[in-house]
Amino acid sequence: MAKGYWASVYPAISDPETLTAYIELAGPAVGAAGGRVLSRGGRVVAHEAGITERVVLIEFDSFEQAVAAYESEAYKKALAALPDGFARDFRIVEGTD
């Protein structure tokens, strides 16, 4: 079974402190859903149209598990805590077998 991944890129974070409530809710929600953080804000070398801002990569045992985690009530509460006007490029992708 192919793994599932959450890939998030944050184009700009002008005030990281505004993410505190989201982070405090999202971390436990992701962990409870079986997600494992592979990368969270480490170094980035961007090419082509890429940006060098914060990147978060989370692995799940399956694509379906990754989708279910995003749709969970716990993660919906985390999303509600994101500040108004906050932008990110978020994707759920299926890995190879």
Looking at residue 70, its pLDDT comes to 98
Is pLDDT above 80 for 4?
Answer: yes
Sign, CA dihedral 21-50-57-67, equals positive
What tokens appear for 72 in the block? 């969970």
Looking at residue 44, its pLDDT comes to 86
pLDDT tens-digit map of 5-57:
999 988 877 777 778 888 899 999 999 999 999 998 888 898 998 888 888 99
Looking at residue 21, its pLDDT comes to 87
Long-range contacts of 65-72, Cβ-Cβ distance < 8 Å, separation of 24 or more: 65/4, 65/33, 65/34, 66/4, 66/5, 66/6, 66/35, 66/92, 67/4, 67/92, 68/33, 69/6, 69/29, 69/30, 69/33, 69/34, 69/35, 70/6, 72/29, 72/32, 72/33
pLDDT tens-digit map of 45-97:
989 988 888 889 999 999 999 999 999 999 999 999 888 778 889 999 999 97
In the chain the domains, ranked by start, together with CATH numbers, are 4-92 (3.30.70.100)
Residue 13 identity (one-letter amino acid): I
